[in-house]
Structure 1
C-alpha cells in the first residue's frame, strides 16, 4: 500500500476505528486507527488516536519514545513534569520513561497522529507512591486522571 485516503474526516480507508483499551478502565472515550504497520517494512507504526470530549488516555510510561502531532482540535498533555497546551500541527516528543497522558477539552474531540517503533515495550502504570509523587505538583494533580 502506498496511499490510504480519508474516506471521511479523520477516518482512513483500510483500517478499523477501534475503541482503545476500553476494557481496562485507564482510558476514557479513546479510539485508535492503525495507519501503517509492519507490512510497510519501515519498523515504525503510525496511528491516529481520537480522544472524545472530556476523555483522556492512560497515565503511563514506557521505554520506547513516541512523537505526537495533533491534527484535530486542541488538547493538553502531561509529558514528564509539564502540562502542555496542544494545538493542531504542534509536535510533541515523549521521551523514554516519561509519564504522559493526553486529554481532550470537555466539549470537543481531540485527535492526534502518534508514531512509534513496531517492537516496543508494554506501558507501565504508576504505583500509588508514584501517583502521590506526581500529585505533589498542583498543576499535575489538577490535570491527571488515573
Structure 2
C-alpha cells in the first residue's frame, strides 16, 4: 500500500471578525475566479486532500443579498448552516435556512444558496475530494426553471 503524506495534528483556532468567520492559517479565497452567475461569496478550505480524508470540508460565506451559482453535478453536498439566515433551493424545493440546519443536496440536483438581504449566510459544506465540474442550466432549462411555481421567483442566474 502506498504511503500518503498528510498534515501532522494541528489546531486552527476560530476567529469571528467584523468581516465574517475565519480560521487561523486558512486562506480566504474567492468563491470562483470570475463570473456574473454568483454574487458576494467567499470560501475557505478547512480540510482538503492533505488531511488524509477522502472529503473536503469548506466554509462558504455569502454577504447580505449574495448567492452561490445555480448549478448541478454528480457529486453530493452535505451542508451545515453555521450563521445567518437565507434560502436554499434544492431541486424543486425552497428552504428558509437558519443556524444548525442540515441540508443534503443529492447528485444531479439543481441547487443554490442565498443570503437574506440584511444578514450574511455562512455554511460548512462537505464534498468528496474527487468530484466532477458543476453544470449550469442551458437557456431552455433556465426558462423552465423561471416558470416553476415554487422556485422560479427565487432562482438567481
TM-score strictly above 0.5: yes
| TM-score where L is the length of structure 2 | 0.89
What count of residue pairs does the alignment treat as equivalent?
Answer: 146
Which residue of the partner structure matches residue 43 of structure 1?
A: 54
1:4 maps to which of 3, 7, 12:
12
| Residue in structure 1 matched with residue 90 of structure 2 by the alignment | 79
1:22 Cα offset (Å):
5.0
3-state SS, counterpart of residue 131 of structure 2: coil
1:102 matched residue in structure 2: 113
Residues 50, 110 of structure 1: 8 Å contact kept? yes
Shift of 1:135: 1.9
For residues 53-106 of structure 1, the C-alpha deviation after alignment (integer angstroms, 9 at most, x for no partner) is 100000000000011100011111110111111111011000000000000011
Match of 1:27 in 2: 38
Q: Are the counterparts in 1 of residues 81 and 102 from structure 2 also a CA contact under 8 Å?
A: yes
- Any idea what SS the aligned residue of 1:16 has? coil
TM-score scaled by length of structure 1: 0.95
CA distance in 2, matches of 1:136, 1:114: 29
Tell me, in whole angstroms, the C-alpha distance in 2 between the residues paired with 1:19 and 1:119. Answer: 20
Aligned counterpart, 1:138: 149
The equivalent of 2:78 in structure 1 is 67
User: Of 66, 76, 81, which aligns to 1:55?
Assistant: 66
Q: Unaligned regions of 5+ residues in structure 1, if any? A: none
1:7: Cα distance to partner? 3.1
The runs of at least 4 aligned residues of structure 1 exceeding 6 Å deviation read: none
* 2:24 maps to 1:13: yes
